[in-house]
Amino acid sequence: MFELAPAFWLLSAAALAAILPFKAVRAALCVLMPLVGLWQLWSMGIGASSHASLAGFELTLYSVTKVNFVFAVIFLLISSIAGVYAWHVSDRGQQVAALSYASGALGVTLAGDFLTLLLFWELMAVASAWLVFARREESSIRAGVRYLLVHVAGGSLLFGGIILFYGQTGTLSLQALSPEMGASAWLILAGVALNVALPPLHAWLPDAYPRATITGAIFMSALTTKSAVYVLLVLFPGWDLLIYMGLFMALYGVVYAVLANDIRQILAYHIISQVGYMVAGVGIGTALSMNGTAAHAFSHILYKALLFMGAGAVIQATGVSKLSDLGGLAPKMKGVVWLFMIGAFSISGFPLFNGFISKSMIVSAAGEAHYYGIMLGLLLASVGTFLHTGLKIPVFTFWGKDQKLEVKPIPGNMYVAMGLVAFGCTFFGVYPQALYAMLPFDAEYHPYTAYHLVEATQILTFTFIGFWVLRAKLAGEPYLALDTDWFYRRGAPVAQAVIVKPVNAFFGAGAKVRDGIAAYLASSFGNPRAWFGVNKGPSDRFDPDLERAPLGAGLAFILLVFIALFASIAILG
Amino acid sequence: MKKIHWILLGMVTLASLALQYFGPPHPHPHAWDSVPLFYCIFGFVSCVLIIVVSKFLGKVWLQKKEDYYEGDNDV
């Protein structure tokens, strides 16, 4: 059975969940199958691979390397814990989608060639879209369709790039690309950048994540962007452009998080911001920075899942998701407050939490590679992270003006899942060696130096003071902020004018000419006898009773031929 | 925020400053390390900057009413 790639385990679990009648058994599959995959991955170890051939292509269904091992571990771990968080869900579609989605992410991560990667990439897009549709609200269904269309477009860019790459190199195996390769590398980059949520290709993320189901958003926050970060790490290490794009992402998310009002949308914009660090780490391209990318992806998945779980618990209990409608929940949701704050401290980079031990790696790597502007820019983004996730969301949700909301109890399994992730956030924060031992590249790093502690403490303390002075400005406001989804949500009339109308006009004119020619041919060739002056007039006035020779004439002719035939046989024979 | 919270914050800051100036030096010093209280100022100024700039962009350009997209025939 170990011949089967871990991703296929999950996919067969999804198929099983599609037919199993018992809700609890399906929920157990969602929790246990990722753990089976994890056990398999761990026992196979680095270096394991499996090959197959399809239509003349040699495929590497999975190939465990030092780079993808750490990503695969965290994907399986978080899928299992998200399964615990979703234990109470009885919607079969969501369970099947979640398992397929995890399978897609794992397949992408372990794939050894472009074709396998592409297949799992598309599986991820479809399965994750289902987690948006499953909310069954009109706005979710519309957002889900937009999400799916954008990802199909991204998949096409990737596919186009892969075809060109195969044409250039004659191989499908994954390898680092260089800008000199031209269109193939850039198309692949565009396709991957879309899943990384690199602006301006990011708008699907803050559009869809706040509209996904409460439990589905946990999977989404963990899998799509981070599997793309892994692909970026393998294909585009050391691309200078990515350093600057990474910093741009980190700050872009911060600005929009000030303007966003939905708590899960604020978290979604901070995914973009945090992934910006990872992208910058890929761009810097040193062993330390790329270790930082892998470590930060690992940490980020844990604390971001915890934050989405906390926000989901608030929405589950109150039915409210907008910051401007929330407030005063702390006395009613004490456990959630504590757990959410652990996630908030982690993402903000407080010492002893896991954000500190991974974010600081990328920031230090920028400094060591002499990118001082980038280093300060990333520190600026980290101020924004603490400001929104650590202060704005909890202060206005749990404290602030008491909105007298009714708080329904949330299922116990949600607390269990949050507790597990919170343990992970603190465990790796206190004992970073457990994570560092899994990192792919050879670089030594010590997070708990006096300098780092001073830096983090002073920045965090004075960010807090700045927040306290200006906190009135940060209260949620009932507005939405325009983002690049405007182009495809409001671009329809323009697209109509530019793409649809000229094409329609061209084919319309063509059809007119075609009909004219057909009409001319029909009228002039419909009745050839008219050319010889016999019953002139158009063919449609042809009256067979009058103008066709009588039936008897034809029969007489045939009879005559037979007589001639027999006569000649009789005479000659 | 009670008085005791501010006192605690002040103590944390003082402790960090003590560690900065009497603790072990950083092996790769940065150009800005000689600026006194650099990271304190950085934290506060960044925080104010992020709020002011983002709010400004929101007001003049990005923020729209919540029903902005409602009634659109997008997908």
CB contact under 8 A, A457 and B13: yes
ipTM: 0.94
Average pLDDT, integer, range B31-56: 93
CB contact under 8 A, A450 and B20: yes
Dist CA A293 CA A361 (whole Å): 8
Read off the pLDDT band of A418 (50, 70, 90). very high
Structure confidence by residue, pLDDT tens digits, A453-479:
999 999 999 999 999 999 988 888 888
CB contact under 8 A, A387 and B50: yes
Dist CA A10 CA A549 (whole Å): 78
Structure confidence at residue A541 (pLDDT):
63
Q: Distances in Å between the alpha carbon of A118 and those of A113, A341, B6?
A: 9, 38, 54
Structure confidence by residue, pLDDT tens digits, A511-555:
999 999 999 998 888 777 777 776 666 555 667 676 677 778 888
User: Do A351 and A448 meet the contact criterion of CB atoms below 8 Å apart?
Assistant: yes
Q: Does the structure show a pLDDT above 90 at A148?
A: yes
Dist CA A524 CA A530 (whole Å): 9
Task: Transcribe B16-68 into DSSP letters.
Answer: HHHHHHHSPPPSS--GGGGSTTHHHHHHHHHHHHHHHHHHHHIIIIIEEETTT
Average pLDDT, integer, range A469-491: 88
A246 vs A527 pLDDT, higher one: A246
Read off the pLDDT band of A1 (50, 70, 90). very low
For residue B5, the distance in angstroms to the closest alpha carbon of chain A comes to 11
Dist CA A126 CA A147 (whole Å): 10
Best CA proximity match to A79, nearest among A263, A180, A179, A216:
A216
Average pLDDT, integer, range A440-458: 94
Average pLDDT, integer, range A120-142: 95
Q: Which of B28, B43, B50 sits opposite A460 (nearest CB)?
A: B43
Structure confidence at residue A539 (pLDDT):
56
Structure confidence at residue A536 (pLDDT):
63
Read off the pLDDT band of B1 (50, 70, 90). confident
Best CA proximity match to A470, nearest among B58, B70, B46:
B46
Nearest residue of chain B to residue A139 (CA atoms) = B70
CB neighbourhood size of A552 (10 A): 8
Q: Does the structure show a pLDDT above 70 at A106?
A: yes
Q: Show which of residues 358-417 on chain A sit within 8 Å of chain B, judged by CB atoms.
A: 367-368, 372, 375-376, 379-380, 383-384, 387
Dist CA B60 CA A156 (whole Å): 36
Q: Which of B32, B47, B69 sits opposite A489 (nearest CB)?
A: B69
How many residue contacts between A and B have a Cβ separation below 8 Å? 157
State which H helix or E strand residue A142 sits in.
helix A138-169
What is the DSSP-derived secondary structure letter of residue A181? G
Contacts of B10 in chain A (CB under 8 A): none
Question: What b-and-e string marks burial along A360-395, b requiring 16 or more CB atoms within 10 Å of the CB?
Answer: bbbbbbbbbbebeebbbbbbbbbbbbbbbbbbbbbb
List phi, psi (to 5°) of A328: 70, 25
Read off the pLDDT band of A321 (50, 70, 90). very high
Residue type, A186: W
For residue B27, the distance in angstroms to the closest alpha carbon of chain A comes to 9
Contacts of B3 in chain A (CB under 8 A): none
* Ranges A3-12, A139-148, A244-253, A286-295: which has the least confidence: A3-12
Q: Does the structure show a pLDDT above 80 at B28?
A: no
For residue A335, the number of C-alpha atoms closer than 13 Å in the C-beta half-sphere is 14
For residue B60, the distance in angstroms to the closest alpha carbon of chain A comes to 11
Provide the CA A186 distance to its chain's centre, in angstroms: 19
Average pLDDT, integer, range A141-152: 94
Residue A245, C-beta contacts closer than 8 angstroms, at least 6 positions apart: A193, A198, A276, A279, A280, A283
Structure tokens given for A400: 């602030």
For residue A328, the number of C-alpha atoms closer than 13 Å in the C-beta half-sphere is 8
Contacts of B1 in chain A (CB under 8 A): 468
Q: Does the structure show a pLDDT above 80 at A573?
A: no
Contacts of A256 in chain B (CB under 8 A): 54
Read off the pLDDT band of A3 (50, 70, 90). low
Dist CA A164 CA A181 (whole Å): 10
CB neighbourhood size of A267 (10 A): 26
Contacts of A489 in chain B (CB under 8 A): 69, 72, 74
Q: Does the structure show a pLDDT above 90 at A488?
A: no
Q: Distances in Å between the alpha carbon of A435 and those of A70, A108, A294, A298?
A: 9, 22, 10, 8
Contacts of A204 in chain B (CB under 8 A): none
